[in-house]
Amino acid sequence: MKQFLIIIVLFFVSNMLPAQNLIGTPSSLILVYNYPKTYFYLQLKGVDKKKTGKENVFILDNQVVQVKTLNRVKFSKDENLSFVDFITAYVDWEKNYQEEQFSMSIHSKLVFLRSNKGRDIGFWTYDMPMVSPGEKTDSTRITPVQKQLFVLARIKDYLVGINCPLLATDHLETIKSYLVTNIDGLVESNNEIDVEKLNKLMNK
């Protein structure tokens, strides 16, 4: 079942930048990004952590989680976008890309919120195309993905997003809460992050 889910998650992926380093702690996974003049890390909660073999996609405590980072120049030439315009420009660009790539309309919704720690975020959802639930075996049944859920934030000129699929057996508010909670694990640094020092700090 997990393999099927990962395929669905990756079906709508364009121009993502990979994490440059990963740090594991007993209760989290930390993705470290050192881009030119932009340094940050994202700490995702999870005791049971698995890579999937696909860049930026992990399974944390049995939840499929995709992290995406993208420079503004990929989706807008405007250097002076407000936060709302920045997130809206990305969503419009991504939505248009998907609709052109796969020749189908995508019903999506974008709302702007504050995280638990007061960070400005966008909560974006879109419906997945209807798929067959698949054949039942002795041990598994393939569960279709109903929606994709994203929480989107901004660090300088970079979009940072966390994405989870919503299965037919899931509750939207539960996954929304998971995403909003984890975006507060986003930490910006004034200087390039020393991965070794951060590892020692987080695992002391």
pLDDT of residue 5: 46
- C-alpha closest to that of 110 among 135, 76, 87, 94: 87
Q: Are strands 28-35 and 38-45 parallel, antiparallel or unpaired?
A: antiparallel
Percent with pLDDT over 90 in the chain: 67
Plot region of 91 (φ>0 → left; ψ -120 to 50 → alpha; else → beta)? alpha
The span from the CA of 71 to the CA of 9, in Å, is: 21
Provide mean pLDDT across the span 80-104: 90
What value does the mean pLDDT of the chain take?
86
pLDDT band at 14 (very low <50, low <70, confident <90, very high): low
> Is 102's pLDDT higher than 80?
no
pTM of the model: 0.86
- Angle (nearest 5°) at CA 62 between 150 and 146: 45
pLDDT in tens, 27-47: 999 999 999 999 999 999 999
pLDDT of residue 193: 96
Q: Could you tell me which residue, 199 or 145, shows the higher pLDDT? A: 199
> Is 133's pLDDT higher than 70?
no
pLDDT in tens, 50-83: 998 888 899 999 999 999 999 999 999 999 999 9
Residue whose token pair is 């992290």: 67
Provide mean pLDDT across the span 146-170: 93
CB 31 within 8 A of CB 46: no
Provide mean pLDDT across the span 149-169: 94
Domain residue spans in the chain?
A: 2-202
Percent with pLDDT over 70 in the chain: 83
- C-alpha closest to that of 64 among 6, 17, 12: 6
pLDDT band at 130 (very low <50, low <70, confident <90, very high): low
> Is 137's pLDDT higher than 50?
no
